[in-house]
Amino acid sequence: MMPQRFETDSTTTLVCGFCSTGCGLTAHMRDGEAIHLTPAAQYPVNLGMACPKGWESLAPLAASDRMSTPLVRDRSGQLTPVSWSKAAAQFASVFKGIQARWGTESIACLSTGQMTTEEMALLGCLFRFGMRGTHYDSNTRQCMATSHVAYKQSFGFDAPPFCYSDFEQSDVLVFVGSNVCVAHPILWQRVLRNEKAPLIIVVDPRKTETAMNATMHLPILPKSDLVLLYGTARALLARDAVDSGFIRDHTAGFDQFAAFAQSFTEEMVLKHTGLERADFEQFINAIASGKRVSFWWTMGVNQGHESTRTAQALINLALLTGNIGKPGTGANSITGQCNAMGSRLFANATSLLGGRDFADAAHRDKVAGILGLPAAAIPEKKGFAYDQIIDGIHDGSIKGLWVVATNSAHSWIQQESALEALKKLEFLVVQDLYSTTETAAFAHLLLPAAGWGEKEGTLINSERRLGLVKQIRRAPGQALSDFRIFQIIAEAWNVGPWRHRWSSPEAAFELLKELSRDLPCDFTGIQSYEMLDACGGIQWPWPDHAASPDTSSPRPAVERRLFEDFNFYHDDGRAQFVFDNPTPPPETPSPEFPFILLTGRGTSAQWHTLTRTSKSDMLRRLSPDSVYVEINPLDASALGIQSGLKVQLASRRATVFATALVTSSVQRGQLFMPMHFRETNQLTLQVVDPHSRQPSYKYCAVQVLRSAIREA
Ligand SMILES: Nc1nc2c(c(=O)[nH]1)N[C@H]1C(S)=C(S)[C@@H](COP(=O)(O)OP(=O)(O)OC[C@H]3O[C@@H](n4cnc5c(=O)[nH]c(N)nc54)[C@H](O)[C@@H]3O)O[C@H]1N2
Ligand SMILES: Nc1nc2c(c(=O)[nH]1)N[C@H]1C(S)=C(S)[C@@H](COP(=O)(O)OP(=O)(O)OC[C@H]3O[C@@H](n4cnc5c(=O)[nH]c(N)nc54)[C@H](O)[C@@H]3O)O[C@H]1N2
Ligand code: SF4
Ligand SMILES: [Mo]
């Protein structure tokens, strides 16, 4: 059933379901169904703009490979449609059988940053409290785990401090490992609205679209960021270009950090980063003389073998210079998926709901009280991270896996190992929109999910803004919202009466509000979905006591940043300097594998593993149709390679073929492949950061050869 309240509207606004920018899209309705989308002119995020994916969001919903019934794979490998009651009964009996034979810890779940917060919270409770599953992680591990750990250690809570107007109010913007022009094009539009003629500095081994549009590009050698940032701290200290008052009053660990940074001399920085002295000096000058300096980072930082410390090295620079809590400043991690932030707070995977601690009995009691659970139902430990789940399948300790809204067989690092793991499983359940994903090919049971636009709930964007998604289309056949699927599974499993509190997305939202109460993310002041709708989304925090008692419709300011009072979330109110010695990547180039392979986003029209964006004719026309590898002209000519030629690429894991694209946007000795084609992760090596366990997707050693044979 379509929710009554939107049925008669001719237009309605909802938040985009692709990236974390969280643009508002206006759906133009006819007979209760959206027929067209346009960017919402009044929405405070995108101010009337949208990228091609946003405009084309309806196309993936109409694709011919949408699943319309649950499907069970028979012995011959054929998929047969079954009813929801049969599917749910099989789900419960097979997983319970595995737990009975191999122990409760023998099942695992991999979820996503692409569902609503209500859905991911219900899944986290169902899997961890109801099914007693210990090992539960999600694709936000591939993406945001580093920022999560970095902020938690540095600020005391996982709290990206910025709002998007900081792009417009900064006079020096430093983007590290962030290709905003491609990955967050509407945020780049916000940068272009900055009237201060800002310095825009891009730190990236590649001359990306963003670097080409910047004032300055620092083409550092891959994974030399940590040395660069510590060397920058040393140089700022040497010039006394630091905010001593701020450091004294609001930080901890400065003396140790200042002493540590002394060994990162200019010579060392130049040697490790490959930068010119003049460029490094200009970088220091820009930060030292900037009045409002903001530091932004994305996957070039988060995906690395020492990523947490790299993110914290950026946080340290903001703390050193007092660039935090003021307009146009901040140590700002830009998130990736539409609900990465919801996942960080409420997935119930690595931290207990609301960013709490599984090991803390008081936290468990609090959550149990709100959810109507016996406290004993809440486990005292967190489970395996994604890489440990894959390893657990390999070593036989995990036998059953439930994959929800992620395409592991394509996006996980060192793909062969992931594929081998999926093949080994006794039972794999995949819950997706499509039956044709690389991961679905291994599934024993497939559950058809409604997609974005076919269901209701909230998403949290990069600037902590909760926004509403609405049902503007009917899901095909018997496909159901993930929320409804979790309810059906909870019933089939017979998890107990607590499940009745999760009677609808809106009821779940009330639980989330209670779970957020008195935490830094408190949003108890958001009265309803209607209030979110009316305000154009609301950023956390918005506690109920923040609402002014003398107005009948208390509304928060449209954009708010954190730490304006310079009070951080550690018990002493101070932000912490965190640092560590840099280490080399585990696999470096060798005579046999002389190139470093960089990976990342290719175009604004392509989303991840392409299951959604390849369904739009328009987006396909804006995308390259097969895998390519970018190579520097000098390397290409030494190898006799021209643009358009098929080349053979090999790492110690695999050999693949790709079309060469000769371009000076990559440096000598480096190659770049987009992550959107499955060949890329066949080459990568499973290395994770020790603190966040986020994979290092952007560094491995490969060779490239002219190919004698064309790929079949
Ligand atoms: N069109 C589109 N937009 C997207 C997505 C998509 O799939 N398609 N995905 C969304 C998601 S989930 C995410 S997480 C974001 C990702 O957004 P970004 O992180 O901006 O995108 P990437 O291209 O993965 O990586 C950014 C840059 O890191 C650089 N890099 C590689 N190694 C290093 C290094 O050692 N140091 C430094 N400083 N830089 C390095 C790469 O050259 C690349 O240009 O995009 C979001 N937006
Ligand atoms: N080499 C390399 N690999 C990378 C990266 C890189 O930079 N380089 N980046 C990593 C990053 S940052 C990320 S975030 C991951 C992304 O990796 P994935 O999460 O695997 O990528 P998606 O293609 O977004 O997969 C989402 C799946 O969920 C389905 N889906 C969409 N909406 C819904 C829904 O509402 N319900 C359900 N049930 N299903 C839905 C889609 O059809 C799709 O199959 O990739 C990582 N992999
Ligand atoms: S920038 Fe991101 S949120 Fe905005 S329309 Fe594009 S994909 Fe959607
Ligand atoms: Mo991501």
Tell me the C-alpha to C-alpha distance, in Å, between residue 158 and each of 287, 355, 499, 539.
25, 8, 28, 14
Is residue 201 within 8 Å of 286, Cβ to Cβ? yes
**Residue range 133-164, pLDDT digits in tens:** 999 999 999 999 999 999 999 999 999 999 99
| Residue 9 pLDDT greater than 90, yes or no | no
Q: Which ligand is nearest to the CA of 142?
A: 2
| Residue 1 pLDDT greater than 50, yes or no | no
Average pLDDT over residues 596-622: 98
Whether 161-333 shares its CATH topology with 595-710 is answered no
Kindly report the protein residue whose alpha carbon is nearest to atom 5 of ligand 3: 54
* Alpha-carbon gap, residue 90 to 77, rounded angstroms: 17
| Residue 58 pLDDT greater than 90, yes or no | yes
Cβ burial 300-319 (10 Å sphere, 16+ → b, else e): bbbbbbbbbbbbbbbbbbbb
User: How close is the Cα of 183 to the center of ligand 3, in Å?
Assistant: 9
Is residue 170 within 8 Å of 162, Cβ to Cβ? no
pLDDT confidence band for 468 (50 / 70 / 90): very high
**Residue range 203-232, pLDDT digits in tens:** 999 999 999 999 999 999 999 999 999 999
Among 46, 608, 618, name the best residue to mutate to test ligand 3's pocket (greatest count of ligand atoms within 8 A of Cβ): 46
User: How close is the Cα of 220 to the center of ligand 1, in Å?
Assistant: 16
Question: Which pLDDT score is estimated for 548?
Answer: 59
| Residue 554 pLDDT greater than 90, yes or no | no
161-333, what's its fold?
Dimethylsulfoxide Reductase; domain 2 (3.40.228)
CATH placement of domain 89-142+338-467+477-513: 3.40.50.740
- Comparing CA positions, the residue from 196, 220, 194, 225 lying closest to residue 206 is 220
**Residue range 557-595, pLDDT digits in tens:** 999 999 999 999 999 999 999 999 999 999 999 999 999
Question: Which pLDDT score is estimated for 555?
Answer: 87
Assign residue 261 a region: left if phi > 0, alpha if psi is -120 to 50, beta otherwise? alpha
Question: Which pLDDT score is estimated for 57?
Answer: 98
User: How close is the Cα of 183 to the center of ligand 4, in Å?
Assistant: 10
* Percent of the chain whose predicted confidence (pLDDT) is above 70: 97
Q: Is the CB of 437 under 6 A from ligand 2?
A: yes
Kindly report the protein residue whose alpha carbon is nearest to atom 23 of ligand 2: 609
Q: Is the CB of 609 under 6 A from ligand 2?
A: yes
Question: Which pLDDT score is estimated for 4?
Answer: 47
CATH placement of domain 595-710: 2.40.40.20
Cβ burial 334-350 (10 Å sphere, 16+ → b, else e): bbbbbbbbbbbbbbbbb
Q: Which ligand is nearest to the CA of 182?
A: 1
Please give the number of the atom of ligand 2 that sits closest to the Cα of 140. Answer: 14
**Residue range 473-527, pLDDT digits in tens:** 999 999 999 999 999 999 999 999 999 999 999 999 999 999 999 999 999 999 9
The pairing of strands 445-448 and 71-73 is antiparallel
Domain ranges of the chain: 89-142+338-467+477-513, 161-333, 595-710
Is residue 605 within 8 Å of 613, Cβ to Cβ? yes
- Comparing CA positions, the residue from 538, 502, 670 lying closest to residue 599 is 670
* Alpha-carbon gap, residue 436 to 35, rounded angstroms: 25
> Could you report how far apart the first and last alpha carbons of the chain are, in Å?
47
